[in-house]
């Protein structure tokens, strides 16, 4: 299975994906079973993808299960079991070879021998990868026992197996790995880049960080913890702007908004949460909501709602009437679209990164925030893609209780029985796009395949928008979008706009 990983890595071309780092990086997990390696791998991958660094996990255990089909006992992991060792090293442990498509790869395996780590470094350098090791060391019997109980005995290896038998077998599997385990050595491995995490964050040792992305990985890993806790997310109570259907602004709460704030205070008290921290934005509607809680709260400017720029305090209908080109462009890519003089969801994610770091450090927290902000926080906590993020449903007057579990979060939706307007706007479908016609949009060279046609009075440029299959006409840097043309071959122009001549002077 190890060779299988190297084989997949060799299929990946660093030049084939957008480069968010100066060179692709291989993150290699190290440690005995039940030390939280998969937990760290999944959590780190979720964070890196959220901040815009494409990252994928290669879990060796999954390929071992494909090769063996059915797990029998710990005997498979004995270091003197030559037949099993050959299977574990076989490049044919999976029927398919899927090419990698990320700038970062996380190799989730024990990698407990120095020989294995040397071969990984050698192969990675040959393929143009930097290598960063993450070793999880744990000698706290309570933490190990909890991890085995929560995760390992319910793994596919022990399907339909008695829990006590599964526990006994897994403990013997750990003993097999201990026979050959060689931790990273401060002296012998001084040239390697790594972080050692002791007992789930009680102590850290960092060595030879090579670049910006590795420093961000270290910073993130030094902020996470596994203490049981709850994260509560709530939008502010309904605001006066919400009632008018207007976005942005800094209005206060409506009468129903105040009623919700009171209900939220009652709900939070009923939860009997120990040492609850409350965070709000700097905007009136979140502050007024938090004031009903009777708990000290902390204001974060980073939690302010997305800045809609020139569209602040507009209704969506007014944006469509006054800025039709912006309205159409936002529907094409809501995550990356930036309001003129405002922000995009992508900008908001970067603004919220310090909030995420502090959220990871804390225990019980209630965040009173805004729709776009709540979507970004939810996307991180629930591992949603950039494409899904702007359309996550975050209704008013509903509390989301998130409880971190082994490899994700359990979510509970609690509606506090106070009516409110619906501010959610669904993802536009093809039927909507077909009716977008003669919309004026700024021309972006990288997005269009152009050919030109000119006369003495004016220049008319016919454009095929390959990414959206749109036919359009451009004149002096302005695009008139004609409409969606389904299944339009690149280079095929089926319509064009009639432009009134204007002198070029």
Is residue 409 a contact partner of residue 402, using CB atoms and an 8 Å limit?
A: yes
* Phi, psi of 282, deg, nearest 5: -90, 5
3 is in an annotated binding site: no
Query: Looking at the chain, how many residues does it have?
Result: 505
- Give the CA count within 13 Å in the CB-facing half-sphere of 84: 16
Of the candidates 368, 402, 377, 399, which has an alpha carbon nearest to the alpha carbon of residue 291? 368
Which among 236, 323, 370, 397 is annotated as catalytic? 236
On whether 422 is known to bind a ligand per the annotation, the reply is no
The Cα 242–Cα 286 span in angstroms is: 13
Q: Is 222 annotated as a binding residue?
A: no
**Catalytic residue chosen out of the listed positions 135, 258, 305, 323:** 305
Separation CA 186–CA 192 (nearest Å): 9
475 is in an annotated binding site: no
Annotated binding residue 408 = no
Task: Using DSSP, state whether 209 is helix, strand or coil.
Answer: coil
Strands 231-235 and 203-207: unpaired
For residue 264, the surrounding DSSP H or E stretch is helix 255-271
Q: Considering only CA atoms, which of 218, 370, 346, 211 is closest in space to residue 286?
A: 370
| Residue 46 to residue 381: CA distance in whole angstroms | 8
Is 10 annotated to bind a ligand? Reply is: no
Distance CA 147, CA 351 (A): 34
Query: Does the annotation list 283 as a binding residue?
Result: no
CA distance 6 to 127: 10
Tell whether 304 is in a known binding site: no
Q: Is 350 one of the annotated active-site residues of the chain?
A: no
241 in a known ligand binding site: yes
For residue 305, indicate whether it is catalytic.
yes
Residue 246 near residue 313 (C-beta atoms within 8 A): yes
Annotated binding site: 235-242, 285
Annotated binding site for substrate: 235-242, 285
Task: Write out the catalytic residue numbers.
Answer: 236, 305
């Amino acid at each position: 299975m190890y060779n299988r990983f190297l084989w997949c890595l060799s299929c990946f071309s660093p030049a084939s994906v957008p480069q968010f780092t100066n060179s692709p990086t291989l993150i290699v997990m190290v440690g005995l079973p039940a030390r939280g390696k998969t937990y760290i791998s999944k959590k780190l991958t979720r964070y890196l993808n959220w901040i815009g660094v494409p990252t994928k996990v290669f879990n060796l255990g999954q390929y071992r299960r494909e090769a063996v089909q059915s797990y029998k006992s710990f005997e498979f992991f004995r270091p003197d079991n030559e037949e099993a060792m050959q299977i574990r090293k076989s490049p044919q442990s999976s029927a398919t070879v899927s090419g990698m498509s990320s700038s970062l790869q996380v190799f989730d395996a024990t990698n407990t021998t120095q020989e294995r780590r040397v071969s990984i470094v050698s192969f990675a350098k040959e393929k143009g990868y930097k290598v960063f090791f993450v070793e999880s060391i744990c000698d706290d019997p309570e933490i190990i026992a909890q991890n085995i109980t929560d995760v390992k005995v319910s793994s596919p290896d022990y399907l339909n197996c008695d829990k006590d038998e599964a526990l006994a077998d897994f403990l013997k599997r750990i003993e097999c790995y201990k026979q050959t385990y060689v931790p990273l050595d401060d002296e012998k491995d001084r040239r390697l880049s790594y972080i050692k995490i002791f007992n789930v964050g009680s102590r850290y040792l960092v060595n030879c960080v090579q670049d910006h992305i590795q420093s961000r990985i270290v910073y993130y890993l030094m902020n996470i913890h596994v203490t049981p806790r709850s994260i509560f997310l709530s939008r502010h109570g309904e605001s006066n702007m919400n009632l008018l259907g207007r976005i942005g602004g800094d209005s206060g709460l409506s009468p129903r908004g105040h009623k919700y704030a009171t209900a939220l205070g009652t709900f939070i008290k009923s939860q009997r949460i120990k040492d609850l921290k409350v965070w709000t934005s700097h905007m009136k509607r979140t502050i007024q909501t938090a004031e009903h809680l009777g708990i000290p709260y902390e204001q974060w400017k980073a939690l302010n709602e997305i800045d809609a720029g020139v569209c602040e305090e507009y209704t969506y209908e007014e944006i469509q009437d006054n800025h039709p080109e912006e309205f159409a462009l936002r529907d094409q890519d809501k995550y990356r679209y930036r309001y003129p003089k405002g922000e995009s969801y992508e900008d908001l994610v970067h603004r919220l990164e310090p909030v995420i770091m502090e959220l990871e450090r804390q225990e019980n927290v209630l965040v009173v925030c805004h729709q776009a902000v709540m979507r970004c926080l939810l996307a991180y906590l629930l591992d949603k893609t950039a494409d899904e993020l702007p359309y996550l449903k975050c209704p008013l007057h509903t509390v989301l209780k998130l409880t971190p579990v082994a490899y994700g979060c359990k979510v509970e939706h609690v509606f506090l029985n106070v009516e409110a307007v619906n501010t959610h706007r669904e993802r536009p479908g093809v039927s909507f796009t077909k009716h977008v016609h003669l919309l004026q949009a700024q021309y972006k060279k990288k997005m269009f395949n152009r050919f030109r046609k000119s006369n003495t009075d004016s220049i008319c440029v016919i454009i095929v928008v390959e990414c959206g299959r749109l036919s359009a006409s451009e004149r002096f840097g302005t695009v008139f979008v004609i409409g969606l043309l389904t299944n339009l071959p690149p280079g095929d122009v089926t319509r064009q706009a009639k432009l009134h001549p204007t002198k070029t002077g």
